């Protein structure tokens, strides 16, 4: 049996203006110019330059006259088509994603695949072989490896290009591709990648007997003792290969560790270049910290005077004229869009400054001297409470902005860290603990590196109350391997 019922519910939705502000807030400084230029092209009512007070007043006066006319009242939501609604307010925004992080601009270069295809052309292949070669190149991932099974690539060629081949033919062509630059390209695993590079080195050093001996030992280590090598079980390798010359063994190990485990990273397909343009400038003037916003974050924009003046003509004209009403509707639409964009830029400036001022206040001792040990534990909630804004707003600022100080440029997220208690009951920044941890590992005896248990005891001896699992977590965050893998001969 079906029933009809009515129910009420409350839901919170972001207005188009709020969405526009959020999008602008997370745009890095390097992209802001492009975003403003895009809006200037889309909206003729928006211009560069300082807003003229009388121009602004005229626009506001006419806005009042226009809206007060009850018989011809127009609601912005009513006269905007869906296309315009998304176009002039949120051009290029798409669907809003709360977790979205904007990236810095990408510097376009020749892709890895382009470079490999250029080298493929020198093999003198026929049309069929070239298509097979391009299929193999297309299977190479950004780090330079082919992880797709050759049997699967055979099937790909049969179904997508109607080319009959077999694994043996693919293997033969792949061996040719593995001779391309960068060395190690087209390998199917790390072991094969290292062997390809060692083969190339042996060719390059042909005639140098001493180097040939070193590379021969290195090749045997990778081909015959790869598992022991990855685990740094050097004693087992020496025994297995019956090596007596310790110096030769050290040189061989050194040759292997200098190889590139990710050959695709040399060109990396599309290289993402991070243009680190600071959003804030912080200077220390005799103990007084002066904070300013990068001028590129504070552009001068204004509403077009000619568009504002078009409104005044409406009051003196026949309001029943349909064409005139359509024209005025369009003009009002563009003026509203221009005002909203200018307001969003100003709100962005205000939010950036308020957030950074709170961070400077919280980390004042650090900004005076640049001493990492002076960093206080600070989380997003601390700054959000200080500036009376949502944590998500602070997060967007922290994740995409940076500050230039007298001792370098820092991303804002650098200043956020959890707290660790000391034996005396004080709270210190986890970044301070990580610095001490890195120093302990840097000074350790590499023949007998410190385990996490010993690192925990060493930190406690310095007054930091920390658990072994936390030591392991911080060590991993610092990209430092476990003690066994830090061992050196």
User: In terms of DSSP bridges, do strands 402-405 and 408-411 run parallel, antiparallel, or are they unpaired?
Assistant: antiparallel
Answer for the pair 157, 165: CB distance below 8 angstroms, yes or no: yes
Q: Which two tokens stand for residue 203?
A: 């060719």
For residue 79, the model assigns a pLDDT of 31
pLDDT tens track for 12-34: 566 666 777 787 887 777 778 88
For residue 380, the model assigns a pLDDT of 87
pLDDT tens track for 288-347: 899 998 877 777 888 888 877 776 666 566 556 677 777 777 878 888 888 888 888 888
Taking residues 257-262, report their average pLDDT: 90
C-alpha 27/C-alpha 423 separation (Å) is: 43
C-alpha 391/C-alpha 385 separation (Å) is: 8
pLDDT tens track for 350-376: 999 999 999 999 899 889 888 877 888
Query: Residues with Cβ < 8 Å from 78, sequence gap 6 or more?
Result: none
Supply the Cα-derived Rg of the chain in whole angstroms.
32
**CA separation (Å) from 164 to 116, 155, 158, 161, 179?**
23, 9, 6, 9, 25
Taking residues 466-487, report their average pLDDT: 83
**pLDDT tier at 221, thresholds 50, 70, 90:** very high
Percent residues over pLDDT 90 in the chain: 21
C-alpha 102/C-alpha 275 separation (Å) is: 13
**Nearest to residue 340, comparing CAs of 41, 32, 43, 61?**
43
C-alpha 350/C-alpha 18 separation (Å) is: 14
DSSP secondary structure letter of residue 285: E
Answer for the pair 377, 427: CB distance below 8 angstroms, yes or no: yes
For residue 66, the model assigns a pLDDT of 40
For residue 461, the model assigns a pLDDT of 85
Answer for the pair 138, 175: CB distance below 8 angstroms, yes or no: no
Assign residue 8 a region: left if phi > 0, alpha if psi is -120 to 50, beta otherwise?
Answer: beta
Alpha helices (H) in 401-461, listed in sequence order: 430-443, 452-461
pLDDT tens track for 382-420: 899 999 988 888 888 888 788 999 888 888 888 887 666
**CA separation (Å) from 116 to 145, 186, 486?**
13, 10, 36
For residue 168, the model assigns a pLDDT of 93
C-alpha 158/C-alpha 147 separation (Å) is: 19
For residue 71, the model assigns a pLDDT of 37
More confidently predicted of 311 and 381: 381
**pLDDT tier at 103, thresholds 50, 70, 90:** very low
- For residue 1, pLDDT beyond 60: no
pLDDT tens track for 126-153: 999 999 999 999 999 888 999 999 999 9
CA dihedral sign, ordered 358, 361, 367, 373: negative
Using the structure block, give the residue that is written with the tokens 């930190």.
459
Q: Which two tokens stand for residue 278?
A: 């600071």
Query: Residues with Cβ < 8 Å from 156, sequence gap 6 or more?
Result: 135
More confidently predicted of 105 and 158: 158
Query: Residues with Cβ < 8 Å from 423, sequence gap 6 or more?
Result: 460, 463, 464, 465
C-alpha 122/C-alpha 133 separation (Å) is: 12
């Amino acid at each position: 049996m079906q029933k009809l019922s009515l129910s009420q519910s409350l839901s919170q939705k972001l207005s188009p203006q709020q969405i526009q502000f959020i999008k602008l807030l997370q745009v890095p400084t390097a992209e802001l110019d492009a975003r403003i230029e895009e809006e200037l092209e889309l909206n003729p009512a928006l211009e560069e330059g300082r807003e003229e007070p009388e121009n602004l007043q005229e626009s506001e006066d006419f806005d009042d006259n226009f809206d007060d006319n009850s018989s011809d009242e127009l609601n912005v939501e009513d006269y905007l088509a869906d296309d315009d609604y998304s176009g002039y307010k949120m051009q290029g925004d798409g669907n809003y994603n709360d977790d979205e992080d904007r990236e810095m601009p990408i510097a376009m270069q020749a892709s890895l695949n382009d470079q490999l295809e250029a080298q493929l052309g020198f093999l003198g292949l026929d049309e069929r072989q070239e298509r097979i070669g391009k299929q193999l190149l297309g299977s190479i991932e950004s780090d330079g490896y082919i992880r797709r099974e050759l049997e699967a690539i055979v099937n790909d060629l049969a179904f997508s290009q109607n080319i009959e081949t077999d694994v043996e033919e693919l293997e033969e062509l792949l061996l040719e591709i593995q001779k391309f630059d960068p060395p190690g390209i087209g390998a199917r695993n790390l072991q094969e990648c290292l062997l390809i590079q060692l083969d190339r080195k042996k060719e390059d050093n042909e005639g140098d007997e001493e180097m040939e001996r070193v590379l021969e030992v290195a090749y045997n280590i990778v081909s015959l003792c790869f598992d022991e090598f990855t685990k740094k079980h050097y004693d087992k390798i020496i025994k297995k290969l019956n090596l007596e010359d310790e110096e030769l063994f050290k040189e061989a190990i050194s040759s292997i560790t200098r190889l590139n485990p990710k050959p695709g990273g040399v060109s990396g397909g599309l290289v993402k270049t991070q243009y680190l343009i600071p959003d804030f400038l912080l200077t220390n003037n005799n103990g007084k910290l002066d904070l300013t916003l990068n001028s590129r974050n504070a552009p001068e924009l204004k509403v077009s005077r000619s568009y504002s003046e078009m409104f005044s003509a409406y009051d003196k004209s026949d309001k029943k004229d349909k064409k005139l009403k359509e024209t005025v509707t369009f003009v009002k639409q563009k003026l509203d869009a221009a005002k909203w964009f200018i307001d969003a830029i100003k709100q962005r400036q205000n939010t950036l400054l308020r957030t950074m001022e709170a961070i400077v206040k919280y980390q004042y001792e650090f900004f005076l001297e640049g001493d990492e040990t002076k960093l206080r534990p600070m989380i997003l909630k601390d700054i959000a409470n200080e500036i009376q804004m949502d944590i998500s707003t602070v997060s967007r600022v922290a994740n995409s902005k940076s500050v230039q100080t007298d001792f370098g440029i820092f991303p804002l997220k650098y200043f956020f860290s959890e707290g660790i208690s000391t034996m005396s009951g004080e709270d210190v920044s986890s970044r301070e603990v990580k610095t001490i941890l890195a120093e302990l590992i840097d000074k350790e005896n590499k023949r007998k590196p410190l385990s996490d248990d010993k690192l925990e005891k060493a930190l406690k001896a310095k007054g930091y109350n920390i658990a072994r699992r936390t030591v392991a977590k911080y060590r991993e965050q610092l990209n430092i391997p476990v003690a066994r893998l830090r061992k050196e001969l």
